[in-house]
Amino acid sequence: MTKTKMVIKVYCPNCGAPAEKTVLDNQIVQTSCPKCDYLLISCLHTGKVVEAYAPGLTPANF
């Protein structure tokens, strides 16, 4: 099976800095920001979150 990877330049939803959204094997989407260490990994088909880390986001910020 061939591994496919597509990288899209986006802005980080946490800090607004340039970030990358990577689609792996048409199944997993990973959004990551090197500036603030934001990470979101989710299923492309269901949208379910597999793993997430967003420093600085707390319920008090909403």
Tell me how crowded residue 7 is: count the other CB atoms within 10 A of its CB.
Answer: 11
| 4-45 pLDDT tens trace | 789 999 999 999 999 999 998 889 999 999 999 999 999 999
- pLDDT top residue among 35 and 1: 35
Alpha-carbon gap, residue 43 to 37, rounded angstroms = 20
Query: What pLDDT score does 10 carry?
Result: 97
Query: What pLDDT score does 60 carry?
Result: 64
Predicted TM-score of the model (pTM): 0.79
Name the residue ranges covered by the structural domains of the chain: 5-56
Q: Which tokens hold the place of 38?
A: 């934001």
C-alpha atoms less than 13 angstroms from C-alpha of 34 in its C-beta half-sphere? 4
